[in-house]
Chains A and B, each alone.
Chain A
Amino acid sequence: MLQKIMMSGIGGQGILFSGICIAWAAMEEGQYVTYLPSYGAEMRGGITSCTIALSDEEIASPVASSPDYLVIMDNQSLLRLQNQTVSGGEVFINSNMVTDRPVRGDIEVLEIPVNDIAKNSVGIRYANMVMLGAFVGRTRLVKPVTILDNMAAILGKGKDRFKAANIEALKAGIDYFSQGGGRA
């Protein structure tokens, strides 16, 4: 079955890295996967988003005109993308930074105060990892443990110093919903 995830936020929030984590884990698990980043015109402060397509068979198009899942880290992204979500889709929202809420009644909204959680854990810079943890913890589109086990490889040469904090932040997010974390 083909599933498409779109993740969006402000450049610098670690959106693309989160996307790569999912794609990498899917690859390790033997799923068909494509990852497609897209950049705004501005280098800093513009919207960055990426689309991850997961499937058990060949993926025709890496583009998602109507994603099944949205991961939204900032308000502008919500306003831009909420209407594209497929009916019945799930929208994960960073409730610390997104002030609006989806107006559609046919999608499921899941809120996570990722900034707060990150601040209480390894620091606000890792908010994207908290969100990622919550997302995979909830949807199980890839197994959270796959991301944890492959973090060093995903980070690549010379970035080892982020590994521990990333893992910590991920774990803080993974159990968010199963421990009764909030909804809309």
Chain B
Amino acid sequence: MKGTDAIAEAAIQAGCRCYFGYPITPQNEIPEYMSRRMDEVGGVFLQGESEIASINMVHGAAATGARAMTSSSSPGISLKQEGLSFLAAQEIPAVIVNIVRGGPGLGNIAPSQGDYYQATRGGGHGDYRMPVFAPASIQELYDITMESFDIADIYRTPVMIIGDGMMGQMMEPIVKHAQPPADLPPKDYILTGAQGRPSRILRSLILHPPEMEEHNWKLKRKYDLMRQTLPRHEEYMIDDAKMVVVAYGTAARIAKGAVKRARAEGLKVGLMRPITLWPFPDEAVAAIAKKAKLFLVFEMSTGQMIDDVKLAMSGGVECEFYGRPGGVVPAPQEIQRIIERHWLQKEL
């Protein structure tokens, strides 16, 4: 199945019945798929007049309790930032997919990881956080998209899924499945018309600073809970690794190939793959830092996740960086070379 189709179908399986989006390469297949599929399941598909309109339509639909979703690519995600802030502030669940492309500016349509800061450092204004997932295979894209709707509902939060142009276009075999059961809280905040109950307000304007402060702390407590329950990562050949490559998404796939090759040459290298970019699996990184001698962070950007790796390690271990921004997709052999170079230079 194709990455973009996997996202759309997983959403449908998860009960998403409202999709609002705007065309932008390389994710046009998602609105196109939804435009056909939503009709089949009696859902709502609407191509908004802009990415801004789309995120606000998601907001409206989700405010009534519907599972709603939008997707876009980097520049469109920039436009949605106000909407994300509002969703977080009003604690409205929604799923937002970013198929990252080269940037900044108009950039290109090639795969990139340049939106890490935008996604994890709350691209929108205000003191909010947002769970961000970075799948590395089509199966993971499917599974995580499906699960993200539950996570959004459980925590009453927008959730972002980061793919890239390659993952969107790539096809891989996957095993489709139904939504696993989840323990969801009652939706006692949604707007359905105040018949038979007091009227409800969904708002984020809190003029009185002490009240606003309490709202901010309330959100923080929620985020702290997410920090405990949501971090996810994958470890590959970590146990005896002296050098650990840290990468996510497509970069992690490539790095895994490189690590395999390096291992075949006898180098004790491993791979740590964050699956959640926020909350970042910093405990896992800290644990690995106790045994490894060197971290090599590989990103398809000029270096954004590396900040989080360093923060997690608190400077305990040396941290090197290798990046290929702009939509260039390096081959595993290239990363293998870099691994070997560092191995030799640091006399590991």
Using CB atoms and an 8 Å cutoff, list the residues of chain A in contact with chain B: 20, 23, 27, 33-38, 58-63, 65
Contact = CB atoms under 8 A, between A and B. Distances in A.
A27 B173 contact: yes
Contacts of B258: 60
A37 B260 CA distance: 26
Interface of B: 166, 169-173, 253-258, 260, 329, 331-332
Contact of A60 (B166, B169, B332): B332
Contacts of B331: 61, 63, 65
A35 B173 CA distance: 10
A34 B137 CA distance: 10
Given A60-B260, A61-B329, A63-B329, A36 B170 contact: yes
B253 A23 contact: no
Contacts, number: 40
B169 A37 contact: yes
Most chain B beta carbons < 10 A, residue from A36, A37, A58: A36
Contact of A62 (B166, B173, B255): B166
A10 to B, nearest CB: 19
Contacts of B256: 58, 60
B173 A60 contact: no
In the A-B complex, the 10 residue pairs with the smallest Cβ-Cβ separation, listed nearest first, are A60-B257, A35-B171, A27-B173, A60-B332, A65-B331, A61-B254, A36-B170, A62-B170, A60-B253, A63-B329
A34 B173 CA distance: 8
Contacts of A36: 166, 169-171
A63 B332 CA distance: 10
Nearest to A52: B171
Contacts of A20: 171
Nearest to A36: B170
A59 B137 CA distance: 10
Contacts of A60: 253-258, 260, 332
B170 A34 contact: yes
Contacts of B170: 34-36, 62
A59 to B, nearest CB: 8
Nearest to A39: B169
Nearest to A35: B171
A63 B260 contact: no
Contacts of A33: 172-173
B316 to A, nearest CB: 29
21 contacts: A20-B171, A23-B171, A27-B173, A33-B172, A33-B173, A34-B171, A35-B171, A36-B166, A36-B170, A37-B169, A59-B253, A60-B255, A60-B256, A61-B257, A61-B329, A61-B331, A61-B332, A62-B170, A63-B166, A63-B329, A65-B331
A113 to B, nearest CB: 30
Contacts of A58: 256
Contacts of B254: 60-61
A142 to B, nearest CB: 13
Nearest to A28: B173
B171 A61 contact: no
Contact of B172 (A35, A61, A65): A35
Most chain A beta carbons < 10 A, residue from B170, B331, B332: B170
Most chain B beta carbons < 10 A, residue from A20, A23, A33, A59: A59
A61 B253 contact: yes
Contacts of B257: 59-61
Most chain A beta carbons < 10 A, residue from B172, B256, B329: B172
B36 to A, nearest CB: 11
Contacts of B172: 33-35
B246 to A, nearest CB: 16
A35 B6 CA distance: 14
Given A60-B258, A61-B253, A62-B170, 7 more contacts: A35-B172, A36-B169, A38-B169, A59-B257, A61-B257, A63-B166, A65-B331
Nearest to A64: B331
